[in-house]
Structure 1
Amino acid sequence: MKKSLIFALLLRGFASLIIEVLLIRELLVTFSGNELSIGIILANWLILIALGSFVLGRFADKVKYKIEIYASLQLIISIYLPFAIYLCRTIKNIIGVVPGEAVVIIPIIYGSFLILIPLCVSDGAQFSFGCKIYSDFSGKPSTSVGRVYIYESIGAVAGGLIFTYLLIPFFHSLQVALFIAILNLLSAILLFIFFYKGYFPFKIHWAKLSFSVIIAFLCLIFLVLSIYLLVSNDINKIQWNILCKQWKGQELVHYQNSVYSNITVTTRENQFNFFSNGIPLFSTPVPDIAFVEEFAHLPLLFHPYPKNILLIGGG
């Protein structure tokens, strides 16, 4: 039981950081990311995690089914994460904003808040229940919170490194979401297996066992489904279909994430449009004439006698 519990705590830090960065990147593309939108999204994230830890965490001392609830929270995160990515990409269509158009502050506030509620509340509650479970298991309540922090911090550091150097360059967002879901579901199943092998000092009741069987069965079903989608080509088709909905009204040509930003290329009426984090960069072969004139003519006004001009790219 000890190893499966420590794995669950390490995984909580690992998954939490990856999910946070993953969804912030998706929301930046949707809301044409800048410093203000990043601040709003992070504020919503921290507020919701605090609410989940405080409100749901208050029941950690009262409920008997702590392991089952912790596993249920892992199940909720696993199921909702791919759907959250879908919502991040399609919320512009819901509120009636076209691709490339800037989103004002109010939709950013309530849009990101509503999308993040299930994930952040569950994530915050996981910490409180994880501390209580570890305290009951170790018999040292005075040090349990600190140890849980240490395990989750180690997981977060590992998650940041793996996400930056492995997941972003080689996998798209839905594949990362399924990878996190598989780890969470495996962790939940391992908790049940070692708990009912008698390594945890609680008496087992039939009601408790029935609840555990239901949650474990659901975890197993979604684990098999997640593995199938990850190894098959279906997840790539789903990814492309969702992206086409995100860039509705334009034909999607290319979509790729890097450690620096998201790059998207669309075409419409034989014109290619390039976006970085949802912000229009330039168009070709016919450029944005107004932008090009301002970009070229205004600097010329600062020169007292412009004579020789270097033209790069041909406009």
Structure 2
Amino acid sequence: MKHEERNAGVNVSTVKQFVLLGFSDLPNLQGLLFGIFFIMYLTILIGNSIIIVITRIDPALQKPMYFFLANFSSLEICYVSVTLPRILFNICMQDRFISILSCATQLCFFLMLGATECFLLAVMSYDRYVAICNPLHYPLIMNPTKCTQLAVSSWLGGIPVQIGQTCQIFSLHFCSSNKIDHFFCDIPPILKLACGDTSVHELSVYIVAMLFVAFPFMLILASYSKIITTILKLPTAKGRAKAFSTCSSHLLVVVLFFGSATVTYLRPKSTHSARTDKLLSLFYTIVTPMFNPMIYSLRNKDVIASLKRLLYKR
């Protein structure tokens, strides 16, 4: 049954499920889209799994930097698994309905894992800051206990706030339409369906975004300003090149993720358009996790060497 037919009688009192329109405006490209997203999902799973395996089994990679990289790769697998399997299901089955509970669950996990990514990127920049700016004290500061505490805090830090924000958003009444013009349950398209004044909810979104996106980003900028200053003071060109190489991969990931996320959540509601939101969301939910393993492996000599050793053994 087509969702247009089932949507005819939807009003404030009867909205019990949403319709994820996704890419329904491209009916002739559904097979191609399924193939593209399926390949991207496999690439993300395989690429990040390889990073996790080599950082666990290679003694040369038993360092704080690679401990956090393994956490980051695990996070990317979880993060993309919140959205991509649902996209694949919707395209394959042509069943775009999602219950309010499932939508709220998806949004909650998406927000919690997004907060974890922000915190973890900040922690990784702090690790690079200590390694380059305080190399003599690095083993003492970034000891195994401290690394574990930072990783656990990153994973758990956003859970209470994001659960509260999800409950607040889904306490709204939804009217006139249950069609979410997006490929997963995200805050901007859901707020568009809400009845009445949503300014208070929009303000809370800005506050949470400032707390979980802008604040970690400012910490990252502060860390890298110190790192760059220290690198420029190194006496040899070889030393400067090595230090820049160590940090450039992480900095590139930071720019890709925070750039698209900031534009999505911190720009005014009046400037939101469904097409732009979908494009930006694709970028930070799928494209960035797909390229992260390549960015970290191709720009890191230790990772490349570990991969060669692993392949040689096999």
Q: TM-score range by the shorter chain?
A: 0.3 to 0.5
Structure richer in helix, relative to its length:
2
Larger radius of gyration: 1
For normalisation by structure 1, the TM-score amounts to 0.34
